[in-house]
Copies of this chain bind each other. A is one copy, B any other.
Amino acid sequence: MLTDRQLLILHAIVDDYIRSAEPVGSRSISKRDDITFSPATIRNDMADLEELGFLEKPHSSAGRIPSQKGYRYYVDNLLMPHDLTADEELDIRSIFNERIQEVETVIQHSARVLSNMTSYISLVLGPEMFEAKLRNIQIIPLSKGSAILILVTDTGHVENQTIAVPDSINPSDLERTVNILNERLMGVPLYRLRDTLHSEVENVLRNHVKEYKHVLHMLSPSLDLEKGEKIFYSGKTNILSQPEFRDIDKVRMLLNMLEEDKTMHQILRAPHTGIQVKIGQENKLEAFDNCSLITASYSIGGKHMGTIGILGPTRMEYRRVIGVVDTLSKDLTKLLTNLYQQG
On A, residues with C-beta under 8 Å from B are 99-103, 105, 135-136, 138, 140, 142-146, 148, 150, 152, 154, 156, 158, 160-164, 221, 236-237, 240-241, 245-246, 248, 251-252, 255-256, 259, 339-343
CA distance A103 to B148 in the complex (A): 10
Q: A138: which B residues are within 8 A, CB to CB? A: 136, 138, 150
CB-based contact A103/B237 at 8 Å: no
CA distance A248 to B142 in the complex (A): 48
Given A99-B221, A100-B164, A162-B102, are A152 and B135 neighbors across the interface (CB < 8 Å)?
Answer: no
A160: chain B residues at CB < 8 Å are 102, 158
Distance of A134 from chain B, by nearest CB (Å): 11
CB distance from A214 to the nearest CB of B (A): 16
Q: Can you add 16 more A-B contacts, CB < 8 Å, to A135-B140, A136-B138, A146-B340?
A: A100-B164, A102-B160, A102-B162, A103-B162, A136-B140, A142-B152, A142-B340, A143-B341, A143-B343, A144-B343, A148-B158, A150-B152, A162-B339, A240-B248, A240-B252, A251-B251
Q: Please give me the residue from chain B that is nearest to A234 by CB atom.
A: B259
Contacts of A146 in B (CB 8 A): 100, 156, 339-340
Copies in the complex: 2
B246→A259 contact, CB < 8 A: no
Contact A236 B221 (CB under 8 A): no
Residues on B with beta carbons closer than 8 Å to the beta carbon of A339: 143, 146, 162
Of B101, B245, B246, B255, the residue contacting A236 (CB under 8 A) is B255
Q: Which 8 A-B pairs have the closest CB atoms?
A: A158-B160, A143-B343, A240-B252, A144-B343, A136-B140, A237-B255, A140-B152, A102-B161
- Min Cβ gap A156→B in Å is 6
Q: Which residue of B lies closest to A221 (CB)?
A: B99
Residues of B contacting A162 in the complex (Cβ-Cβ under 8 angstroms): 100-103, 156, 339
Show 27 A/B contacts (Cβ-Cβ < 8 Å), sorted by A.
A99-B164, A100-B161, A100-B163, A101-B161, A102-B160, A102-B161, A102-B162, A105-B161, A136-B138, A136-B140, A138-B138, A140-B152, A142-B156, A143-B341, A144-B343, A145-B343, A146-B156, A146-B340, A148-B156, A150-B150, A150-B158, A162-B339, A236-B255, A237-B251, A237-B252, A248-B251, A251-B251
The residue of chain B having its C-beta at the shortest distance from the C-beta of A137 within the complex is B140
Q: How far is the CA of A334 from the CA of B28 in the complex (A)?
A: 68
Q: Which of B102, B158, B240, B343 contacts A255 (CB 8 A)?
A: B240
> Of the candidates B105, B241, B251, which one forms a contact with A240 in the assembled complex, judged by CB atoms under 8 Å apart?
B251
Give A155's nearest chain B residue, CB to CB: B142
Question: In chain B, what residue has the closest Cβ to A106?
Answer: B162
Q: Which residues of B contact A240 (CB under 8 A)?
A: 248, 251-252, 255
Which B residues are in CB contact (< 8 Å) with A102?
Answer: 160-162
Chain B residue nearest in CB terms to A152: B140
Q: What CA separation (Å) do A143 and B342 show in the bound complex?
A: 6
